[in-house]
Structure 1
C-alpha cells in the first residue's frame, strides 16, 4: 500500500496500567511516592559521590553514571504517567510519543551496557587487585562510559528511525502507560519487518551480550573469592558484588520477560506489569540497594552530613 491510502495518526491514547476509575487515585499517589524516592535517591547518590573524595574511584564513577541514567529514565516515563492518572483523556501527540520512545530507548540501552561495565569493573577489582589501578585508569573509565552512551545513542536512533517509517491509521490506542516498542508495533498498518529485525538484533546485543558478560564476570569472581583463605576477605569480596547482583537480576529479568518472549506467548497486560519493574521500580531501588548494602557509602554520607551541619 502507498502512503496516500493511510489516514495518519496525529495523537495516541495511552490506556495506562488500568482502566478502573477507583484505582486511578491510589495508583497516582503510589507512583508519585516512588518517583519522589527515585529523584531524591539518585540525585542524592550523584551529589554524595561528587562531594566525597573517598568515593572518587572507578566503581563509584560508574555508579554515579548509573544513578544519572536511572533518574533520566524515570523522568522520561513517570511524570506523563502521573498526569494520565488524573486526566480524563490520556492523549499524547505523535511527536511527543516518538520523543519519549527515543529517550526511553537511549536510557534503557545505556543501563544494560552500564551494568555490564560495572560487572567488568568488579571482575578486575577482585580477580586482578594488584593491577586494578593500572587497568581501570581514568582514561579507560571515560572511554567505557562514552561507549555506553554511544551504544545507547546508536540503538535509540536505529529504533526511532525505523519507527518513524511505520504508518498508523485506524488504531491509535496504545495498550501501555508509555510509548514502548512492542505496543506501538501492534498498532502498525504497514510492514514492521525491518522493525522486527532491528528489535531482534538490538535485544541480542543489548540484553543477551551484557547478560553473558555479567555471567562470565561473576563466574571468575566467584572462583577467585573461593580461593580467598580468610572468612573476612571472602565476606568483603561478596559484599562488594551483592548489590550489583541484585540490581542486575531485577533489571534484566523484567527486561527479558518483556522483549525476549515469543509474540504468541507474550501478553501486553503482563508486559505492562513487567515494564513497571525496569522503568519505575529499578530506578528507585538502585540507589537504595547500593547505599544500604555499602559501608563506604554510609561512611561518606556521615562525613558529608557532619561537614554540612
Structure 2
C-alpha cells in the first residue's frame, strides 16, 4: 500500500504506542523493568545450567538452551529501547535504526520457528523410535543444525534488508506500536514494494506454514505412539517428556497465526499490539518456567550448583 498524503521523504520514524500510557509511565516502566529483569535472569540461568551440568548435555536440553537464547536476544533487541521510550512518552528512530531492529526481530523469529520444528522431531524420535534415537539424534548434529539455522536466517534477513533499504518512505511516519513494526511501516512506502512484499510473503509462508505442519505431524505420530502404550504409568511418563514443548509450540503458533493469518477487523491493530506485547514480554518469561517447573533434571542441576556456590563461599571466608 502506498502512502499518498505527504510526498516528503521520511528521515525519521515516530513510535507512538506509549502516548496513551503517558500518565502512568512510571508504574508501567517499573512493572516492565521487573518482568524484563526476571526474564533475563531465568533464561540465562537455564542456559548456564545446561552448559555447566554434565547430565544436561543431551540434544533435548541443548535445543532448549538455544531456544531460550533466541528469546533472550529477541527481548534484548526490543525491550531496553521500549523502556526508554516509555519514560519519554514516544520514541524517535532513524530509518536505518528501525530497519536494523526489524531485521533482528525477523532473524531470531526465523531461528525460533526452525528450532521448534527440530525439537518436535527430537521428541518424535525419542518416543516413536527410542532404540534408534542415539544414532539419529546427538548434540553434535544439533549444533550443526542450529548453526545452519542461523546462517539460513542471516541470508534471508540480508535479502529482505537489501530490498527494504531501497524502499522510500513518505513522512511523517508514525507507528502506533511499542517498537518498529513492518506491517505499519510499509503503509508509508511511496516507491515500488512489490519485490519486497513477494519475498516476505514467500519467506513467511515457508518459515511459518512448513514448521507448523511439521510440528503437527510430529505430535500426531507421538500421540498415536503414546496411546499404544498399555500401562497408564508408561503413557504418563512418555507424555511428560514432550508436554512442555507441546505447550510452548502451541502458544507460539497460536500467536503467529493470530497476528498474521486472522482477517483484519476494526480493532485489529489493538489486538495486534496486545498479542505482540504478550509475545515480547510474557512468552520469554514463562518459557523457562514451562520447561523447568516439573523437570527433575533441572531441579537437580540447580541444587548441585547452589551447593557448589555455597561451598565456594564458605571456603573463601574460612
| TM value normalised by structure 2 | 0.90
Unmatched runs of 5 consecutive residues or more in structure 2? 311-318
* Aligned residue pair count: 306
Aligned to 2:272: 271
Q: What SS class does the counterpart of residue 171 from structure 2 fall into?
A: coil
Mapping of 1:185-204 within 5 angstroms? 185-204=186-205
8 A contact 2:16–2:89 mirrored in 1: no
8 A contact 2:177–2:273 mirrored in 1: yes
Q: 1:293 to 1:155 in 2, by over 3 A?
A: farther
Aligned to 2:225: 224
Q: Distance in 2 between matches of 1:221 and 1:65?
A: 23
Q: 1:186 to 1:78 in 2, by over 3 A?
A: same
Aligned to 1:26: 27
Aligned to 1:250: 251
Q: Distance in 2 between matches of 1:88 and 1:298?
A: 42
**Segments of 4+ moved more than 3 angstroms:** 261-266
Aligned to 2:314: none
Mapping of 1:145-164 within 5 angstroms? 145-164=146-165
Q: Distance in 1 between matches of 2:103 and 2:259?
A: 18
8 A contact 2:18–2:85 mirrored in 1: no
Q: Distance in 1 between matches of 2:160 and 2:271?
A: 23
Deviates more, 1:60-69 or 1:88-97: 88-97
Q: What SS class does the counterpart of residue 173 from structure 1 fall into?
A: strand
Aligned to 1:15: 16
Q: What SS class does the counterpart of residue 13 from structure 2 fall into?
A: strand
Deviates more, 1:56-65 or 1:242-251: 242-251
CA RMSD across the alignment: 1.9
Unmatched runs of 5 consecutive residues or more in structure 1? none
8 A contact 1:15–1:173 mirrored in 2: yes
Shift of 1:145: 1.0
Q: 1:264 to 1:203 in 2, by over 3 A?
A: farther
Shift of 1:266: 7.5
Q: Distance in 2 between matches of 1:66 and 1:163?
A: 27
8 A contact 1:46–1:67 mirrored in 2: yes
Q: 1:156 to 1:279 in 2, by over 3 A?
A: farther
8 A contact 1:255–1:275 mirrored in 2: no
Aligned to 2:216: 215
Aligned to 2:175: 174
Q: 1:145 to 1:85 in 2, by over 3 A?
A: same
8 A contact 1:58–1:136 mirrored in 2: yes
Q: Does 1:91 align with 2:81?
A: no
Aligned to 2:121: 120
Q: 1:144 to 1:301 in 2, by over 3 A?
A: same
Mapping of 1:279-290 within 5 angstroms? 279-290=280-291
Q: What SS class does the counterpart of residue 262 from structure 2 fall into?
A: coil
| TM value normalised by structure 1 | 0.93
Mapping of 1:101-120 within 5 angstroms? 101-120=102-121
Q: Distance in 1 between matches of 2:24 and 2:110?
A: 32
Q: Distance in 2 between matches of 1:153 and 1:230?
A: 46
8 A contact 2:229–2:235 mirrored in 1: yes
Q: 1:227 to 1:285 in 2, by over 3 A?
A: same
Shift of 1:72: 0.4
Q: 1:203 to 1:20 in 2, by over 3 A?
A: same
8 A contact 2:127–2:222 mirrored in 1: yes
Q: What SS class does the counterpart of residue 13 from structure 1 fall into?
A: strand
Q: Distance in 1 between matches of 2:231 and 2:283?
A: 34
